Amino acid sequence: MMEQFQKHILIVDDEEDILELVKYNLGINGFLTTCATNGEEALKFTRLHKPDLIVLDLMLPNIDGLDVCRVLKADSETKSIPILMLTARGEESDIIQGLEMGADDYVTKPFSPQVLVARVKTLLRRYSEPIEDKEGVIRIRELSIHPGRREVKIGEKRVELTYTEFQILHLLARHQNFVFTRNQIIDEIRGENYPVTDRTVDFQIVGLRKKLDQAGKYIKTVRGVGYRFYLED
């Protein structure tokens, strides 16, 4: 079990009421928190103290949240720190930009404190608990993915996938709960600037879900953004 009291969360928002709301709810769930009200403070603190996770508002004075995310994810010292974005509803373009810069998840305002805490726990769990065994095989409930053999099984039944379908499944399953945009999926499985469209990814996902049968439900559509591999309780 993850020891939450050891986890340090940096909360970045220029609205005092939001800072207090997030700080309170993370605090009662056992997390140590630090607050910053602008991008400069966030960058300075992160470089000095390396928090375990950052809750980052996108609308900040001077240096906005997208630039903070870009700078941190481009720095080898801070790129592995998970970032949960806070965004206003209707900011799909900003969400996509943030995810493409390396942010790991997002919550839209107004938000449920319980949902935000659950997302924080999920991100920390994903960064602290590897899902691959010593041979690199990913086992998720009834599903197993063997990258060396390029083999997928549901129970003992082998599932025949195309090269692209396997690449997409392997990518999503290795990063459970992370939201991938369609462009990120294309770049990851084919290399940058591969000449395919968003609809190509959608078509591959449809085929993949069908072949995975009941396990296909783990591949979730994030409307307006892309896809994630998510296990419901």
pTM for the whole thing?
Answer: 0.69
Residue ending a domain, choose from 73, 101, 128: 128
pLDDT in tens, the chain (233 residues): 344 436 899 999 999 999 999 999 999 999 999 999 999 999 999 999 999 999 999 999 889 999 999 999 998 889 889 999 998 866 788 889 889 888 999 999 889 999 999 999 988 877 665 456 667 888 888 899 998 889 999 988 999 999 889 999 999 998 887 889 998 888 877 755 556 667 889 999 999 999 999 999 999 999 888 999 987 64
What share of residues in the chain are helix, strand, coil (percent, to 5)?
A: 45, 20, 35
Same domain as 146, residue 100 = no
Same domain as 61, residue 168 = no
**Number of domains, the chain:** 2
The CATH number assigned to the domain holding 12 equals 3.40.50.2300
Same domain as 122, residue 70 = yes
Residue ending a domain, choose from 128, 160, 179: 128
Show the domain range for 93. 4-128
H helices present in the chain, as ranges:
16-27, 39-49, 65-74, 92-101, 113-128, 163-174, 182-190, 198-212
